[in-house]
Every structure is written in structure tokens, then in C-alpha cells.
Copies of this chain bind each other. A is one copy, B any other.
Amino acid sequence: MAIQIPRGTQDILPGEVEKWQFIENTAKEICRIYQYKEIRTPIFEHTELFQKGVGDTTDIVQKEMYNFEDRGGRSLTLRPEGTASVVRSFTENKMFGHPNQPVKLFYNGPMFRYERPQAGRFRQFVQFGAEVLGSEDPAIDAEVISLAMELYRRVGLKHLKLVINSLGDKESRISHRNALIDYFKPRINEFCSDCQNRLEKNPLRILDCKKDKDHELMKSAPSILDYLSCESKKYFDEVLVYLDELEIDYEVDPTLVRGLDYYNHTAFEIMSNAEGFGAITTLCGGGRYNGLVQDMGGPETPGIGFALSIERLIAALKAENIVLPFEKQVDCYIVALGDQAKHKAMVLLQQLRKSNFSAEKDYLDRKMKAQFKAADRINARFVAILGEDELQKEIVLLKDMESGKQTEIVINDFVEQFKTLCK
């Protein structure tokens, strides 16, 4: 039996891949405009990186990582997300010393989480993300959010909701943490065992629990917004003012905590509220992580970023019935008949291609009719016919497939004439 693709992964084939190309090209163009530069980090990292950078108590690290040992016995992990790697690279490559500050980066590539495969969730999925390191200006929080929104706007999505929260600074988080412990402790035995562990380790995670999300205590749990320090509140207000000025709609949601340990201050999600989009509505998540670079051995450096899944973006396009525009036409198909003509056709094909025309011919020794059918299927703008007659007269018969008009062209002038016709 033939070997199959691993569970939870997918092939992206011609016909579908064009969507990916379009989205990624759009994202890259936006990053050029916003002045975010690409960074590429390895597919795997030392396991400690994610334990430290994503957080030991998160579901990702505890349950979902692909860990393996290399032949030298070191534990490696397929990256489950992009931020830890970017921070590692920023520190290791001393990018904090670069004259252009802040450092504005983007990445696009596969991530890996061992989850139960289900609609819209894959074990290998692609994330596009942006990170800004070295600025604590609320304007950067707004810029990062607007970058993500701009991508959705350019691909045509309309039914979006931006949800934002502040997780505050260290001081705010300690007060909130204590309030959460006091609040949940008396009834913690009504929660799942994960939550019972979380109570002392990281009570904020309880608010993010998938199992206990309907427990009545969840609704009126202490809100972080009531525990923000003066400075944190001022920072958050400034971010919101920028969003207002940039005319980006948002909803403040004090229960938004994100599934990663490293966030503080601004946290946000962009969700689809298209009808019939299904259960997983979060398209993009991000936030500020001012302590992370230092936690990971670098100098004290503020940071903020987001990641969005291309798979979910495509699902959202489908939910909104959006068809992405991309070119499907081929400039010229050469129909060749007879051995000599086939050889000559290859030479003409190469000339067309060197002049940047997309061009194709038959490679299956098909008859004229089948070659015309092939030309039709790939939507050829022109068909050049090269049979024995034409070869003897040293001409090519060029047919414009839109107008039906046919032109005889001297073989040696073919590409020059073709250029003129295409203008």
C-alpha cells in the first residue's frame, strides 16, 4: 500500500496553493510598507527555549510539543510558535545593539503542535507573525494591531472583531493574582485538576481553561482592569486613543488573557464573526511581553507582537465567500506537429520564456486536437501553430484566442513580433 501523509498535516496543492501565495505576498508587501523585516529561524530549537519562553505551565509546553533527541542526545523541539525563537535570535545576534531601533521583524512559516486533529486545527500549520523589540511607545502597540488588520482588509475580510485587554505591569499582575487566588481558593475543588494545579502556580491560566469555562465563578472573577497600576492604566488608555485615531474598532474584554505566559500590558485577539464560521473564531492573537527578552538571557528590552494562522485566514475567506484574485492566463501555447517542429518549438518556447512570457507546449506527443484542448485548459492567450507546412515556409501561425484572429509570423521574428502583439 502507498505510504500516506502524517495525521494532522496537509499537502497544499496547485489550485489551492495560489491562495497561500496571494496571502503571503500581501503580508510581505504590507511588511515592506510598514518597514518590518523578515527573519527566518530554524524549524527546531533546544527544548529549554520553549519551556522558558512559552512557559512551563502552558498547554503548549505540557502537552503539545514535538520533542525529540538528536543523534548527540540533546533534546530538540519543533517550534510550536514563533516569538520564543525570534527573542532567542534577537538576543544571540545582539540585535539590541543595531543602530535601527526598535527592531521590527516578521516571520512566516510552519509551526507544530501535537493536538487532536479537527476541522481548522492541524498539527503543522503556518503562522505569519510580527514582533517589535525595543520600544515601549503605545503607538507601536497600535501599529502592530493595524498591521494585522491591514492584512485582513487587503484580502477582503469584513466580519472581524478586535478584542483588547491590558494585563498590566508586574505590580498590577501581583495584585490581580492575589485577588484571583482569594476568589477561587474556597471552591477550587469544583474545578478540573489542571486548574487546581494552576491556582498557586499561575491562577490567570484558570480563566483560560477550556474545561471549566462554563463554571459560574468564571463570570464574575476579579477583572485585571480593576487592579491596573496607574502607569499601566495610562499606557492602556494611550493605546486605545491611538486605535481610535486610526479608526480601528475594538472591544475591551477584561477576560482576555491569551494562552501564553509571557504577556503583559496590551493583549489582543482578532476574531471572525462571519456567520457559520464555526467554533474556532480567533484568527490572530498577540500582545506585549516586556519581560521576555530579559527572562531569556538578553538585556532588558520591551517587546510586542502577534501571530496569525494562514489556515484560519483561508477558512475565514471561505466563510465570507471571498474569492482571491490571481492571474490564471498563460501567454502562449505552442502546438507542434512532427519531430522537427517539436524541436523547433522548444527553441521558441525558450525564447519566449527568456523574454518573461509564460509559455507551454505538449510533452506527450499528442495530436493537434488534443494539444489545442490542452492550450484551452490552461487558458492560453495565444496559440502558436508549428506544423510541417509552417516549418517549410519558415513561419509560425499565431492565433489570438480572444479574437480568433490568425497571423503568419516569420519564425526568426517570432518573439519580437509576439512582444509587439502583446503590448
Contacts from A to B (Cβ < 8 Å): 1-7, 9-14, 17, 20-21, 28-30, 32-35, 37-46, 48-49, 52, 66-72, 74, 76, 78, 88-89, 91-93, 95, 99-102, 105, 110, 112, 114, 124, 132, 134-135, 137, 139-140, 142-143, 146, 150, 241-242, 245-246, 296-298, 330, 342-343, 346-347, 349-350, 353-354, 356-361, 363-365, 374, 377-378
Contact = CB atoms under 8 A, between A and B. Distances in A.
A313 to B, nearest CB: 16
Given A12-B39, A39-B12, A41-B11, A353 B5 contact: no
Contact of A146 (B95, B350, B361): B350
How many copies of the polypeptide does the oligomer hold?
A: 2
A298 B21 CA distance: 28
Nearest to A21: B38
Contact of A9 (B12, B42, B350): B42
Contacts of A95: 13
Contact of A360 (B35, B347, B353): B35
Contacts of A30: 353
Contacts of A99: 377
B5 A346 contact: no
A423 to B, nearest CB: 18
Contacts of A13: 39, 89, 93, 95
19 contacts: A2-B91, A2-B297, A2-B298, A3-B52, A5-B88, A7-B72, A13-B95, A14-B105, A17-B39, A20-B40, A34-B358, A35-B330, A66-B70, A137-B364, A140-B363, A142-B346, A143-B349, A143-B363, A246-B346
A5 B45 contact: yes
A415 to B, nearest CB: 13
Nearest to A52: B3
Given A2-B88, A17-B37, A364-B101, A139 B342 contact: yes
Most buried by B among A242, A353, A363: A363
Nearest to A298: B2
A356 B361 CA distance: 38
B3 A241 contact: no
B35 A378 contact: yes
A242 B4 contact: no
A290 to B, nearest CB: 14
A42 B364 contact: no
Given A33-B353, A66-B70, 9 more contacts: A2-B298, A3-B88, A3-B297, A11-B42, A13-B93, A44-B124, A135-B363, A140-B363, A246-B347
Given A14-B39, A343-B241, A3 B46 contact: yes
A114 B70 contact: yes
A43 B135 contact: no
